[in-house]
Structure 1
Amino acid sequence: MADEHTHVQEFFTARAGDWDARFPDDGPAYAAAVAALGLRAGDTVLDAGCGTGRALPFLRDAVGPKGSVLGADLTTAMLEAAVHAGRHRAAQLLVADVTRLPVRTGALDAVFAAGLIAHLPRPADNLRELARTVRPGGLLALFHPIGRAALAARQGRQITPEDLRAEPNLRPLLAGSGWRMTSYTDESDRFLALAVRQD
């Protein structure tokens, strides 16, 4: 586990400074994904693996001034980039491991997770931990601003049938981790899987 976390931290620490500059056009995709999550004014939402906080202003707008937004990331450099971009004003930022969150059971109405699933060391257990923090009937959005095929092409690889984000793999993975998938979109300009927390 420590080695996996170290690898993730090293990967994102090396890229934190220019992360936003590398993906300058993702804002509308984040806004649309947050809108699809269906948050209500006053909700409490976690951006799990928030990185530089690109979703945080949209989450704040969705829950309003009486809502609560938390942004958790394992990599301090990414959170520092979020502060530098002024996104800390939209949320409370936590240096935290999403595989063991410092959040009370059932405290959240929703979790937003952009690009997270590919970095989870034990996906079933880790999705179960996210489920622990969300009330029954609460929501989960697994998002990426481009689809699986476009992401694979960007990374110079092919999509394989084993890809966790493929619908036949993701649906049972979520079901075994306390979630029921309610929608699945994998298009060139976005990946978005929405799920509801089961009782």
Structure 2
Amino acid sequence: MTDDRTHVQDFFSVRAADWDSRFPDDGPAYTAAVEDLRLRRGDAVLDAGCGTGRALDALRAAVGPEGTVLGADLTPAMLETAVRAGRDRSGALLLTDVARLPLRDRSLDAVFAAGLISHLAHPGPALRELARVVRLGGQLALFHPVGRAALAARHGRAITDDDLRAEPRLGPLLAASGWRMDAYVDEDHRFLVRAERVG
């Protein structure tokens, strides 16, 4: 295991038990972001970096009982919290690195990723791996329940243009990884980027 993966696991392991209680009002924002992904009944979707599985119920509602919902996370404690919350009933949970997914090429219709991009030590390869498992024309949603400025303020920092999630940086990164950015929203109450898998 690389130091980067260990750092992520250490960060989230100590926060897993009370993660949901720290952000109790995020549910509607997750639901709205899933709706923006425009999933269809029967689709196969991955929640990449699913954490405690807060998006899994909304994803299951979107694809229906005939659809496939997967949640992948690197941190066992986060997945254990998801199971305790009963969210494993909405999707199968995978303990795995999103940069090395145990999935077939083009086996998914969409990927939902809440907060993931900020925790990727090597975002390019991870975004290429997500592209590998999504069919052409499939969708990617990069989401956070607060925007860049609000998140920076929460951590006592100023927003900067070299932030990976800044549109001038993220657009080319997505393009180089097999995605075309279709929408970019960065408001105090939400960050949402939607991209399409292109050839």
TM-score exceeds 0.5 = yes
The AA in structure 2 aligned to 1:72 is A
Which ranges of structure 2 fall in alignment gaps of 5 or more residues? none
| Residue in structure 1 matched with residue 197 of structure 2 by the alignment | 197
Partner of 1:99: 99
Distance in 2 (CA, whole Å) between partners of 1:83 and 1:126 is 25
Deviations along 1:93-125, one digit per CA (max 9) or x if unpaired, are: 000100100011000000000000011121111
> What is residue 62 of structure 1 aligned with on the other side?
62
Render the CA deviation track for 1:68-94: whole Å, top value 9, x for unaligned: 000000000000000011100000000
Offset at residue 181 of structure 1 (A): 0.3
Quote the Cα distance in structure 1 between the aligned partners of 2:121 and 2:106: 23
C-alpha separation between the residues in 2 aligned to 1:47 and 1:60? 11
How do 1:25-36 and structure 2 match up within 5 A? 25-36=25-36
| Count of residues in correspondence between the two structures | 199
SS at match of 1:83: helix
Partner residue of 1:142?
A: 142
Larger fraction in helix: 1
- Give the drift of 1:161: 1.2
Equivalence for 1:44:
44
Quote the Cα distance in structure 2 between the aligned partners of 1:119 and 1:100: 15
How many Å apart are 1:158 and its aligned residue? 1.2
Question: 1:1-199 counterparts in 2 under 5 A?
Answer: 2-199=2-199
Query: 1:107 & 1:119 partners in 2: Cα distance?
Result: 25
SS at match of 1:16: coil
User: In 1, Cα distance between the equivalents of 2:118 and 2:28?
Assistant: 22
1:41 corresponds to which letter in structure 2? R
Structure 1 runs (4+) deviating above 2 angstroms are none
Q: CA–CA distance in 2 between the matches of 1:40 and 1:172?
A: 28
User: d(CA) in 1 for partners of 2:178 and 2:164?
Assistant: 16
- Quick one: distance in 2 between partners of 1:169 and 1:54? 28
Counterpart Cα distance in 1 of 2:161 and 2:181: 19
Secondary structure of the structure 1 residue equivalent to 2:17:
helix
Whole-angstrom distance in 1 between the partners of 2:126 and 2:80: 25
Q: TM-score, normalised by structure 1?
A: 0.99
Q: Distance in 2 between matches of 1:129 and 1:159?
A: 28
User: How many angstroms apart in 2 are the aligned matches of 1:108 and 1:87?
Assistant: 20
* Residue type of the alignment partner of 2:125: D
